[in-house]
Structure 1
Amino acid sequence: MKHVFLIPALAVMAACATTPVYGPAKSERAEGYLSQQIETGRHRVSYTDRDPIRARNMALLRASEITLTEGKDWFEITHETVDSEGSGRSGGPSVSIGGSAGSGGYSGVGVGVGFGIPLGGGSVGKVTHTLEIVTGAGTKPDKAEAYDARSVDMNLRVTSG
């Protein structure tokens, strides 16, 4: 009966081991965050991860940290980009044309149509989510691009690993 509890515990440990810990990137293309102050109250923040949702959430978390460190209350995203680094696998339709020449003067041409299915979870490689933000104090602007830094920090810190 003890083994019944061991299997779920091992699964949880394995999941934690494969999720990178939130922190700074060791190099420009490594997983983690990079931050650059552009001018007072304006920053560029990026987060690289294998999971696109986690990459965006962790970029938002880093933006909230910067905002709170500045003693500000909110940040607004002024520009946002996503850069995907492919893994060399793709899905979807493809067309191939080939030719051959055999011995005895025989030759042939073939056309193939196929559909690729990426195996291994459909990983797209690393994704870098970049935000350009401005920080502010006082009442948060009533815009979808504006975030309350304390709320973002509190809600996303739980999922940061």
Structure 2
Amino acid sequence: MKKILILGLLVSFAACKGTAQQEKQENFPVTKTEAEWRAELSSEEFYVLREEGTERAFTSDLLNNKQKGTYVCAACQTPVFKSETKFDSGTGWPSFYDYIEGNVAFSSDNKLGYTRTEEHCATCGGHLGHVFDDGPKPTGKRHCINGVALDFVPEAP
């Protein structure tokens, strides 16, 4: 009985471990070593983009940004969201109802004991956030994104 219990616990822990970053290193056009990413990114950017962390709610400078422009991946500058799809979700993270097709990739995340859809940059694999089915029309999606994973490029005047 003890062996079955121990085996069950090991399987449970393994199921909760995220593997998206490990897969990303092999499957994305821009790949760098951990040391290279650490040299280029701030500690908070590295935590979110490379270790799939989450920034604290309501701390992003981009949360209340209302300028027209494009949000790009902070690691590789790939355009991932347009300002016209941004909305105030009240969650404390920049939220978008749509993404730039081909520039955002998705995977399953089971780290909290249930499956969520993780969102990451399709060019470098950087973790951006998660997508949920409680957003506004026309898509009904809420792309809940860590602001530290993004840079903002204002629209040219």
User: What TM-score do you get using the length of structure 2 for normalisation?
Assistant: 0.29
* Higher-RCO chain (CA-CA 8 Å, sequence separation at least 6): 1
User: What TM-score do you get using the length of structure 1 for normalisation?
Assistant: 0.29
Q: Rg: which structure is higher?
A: 1
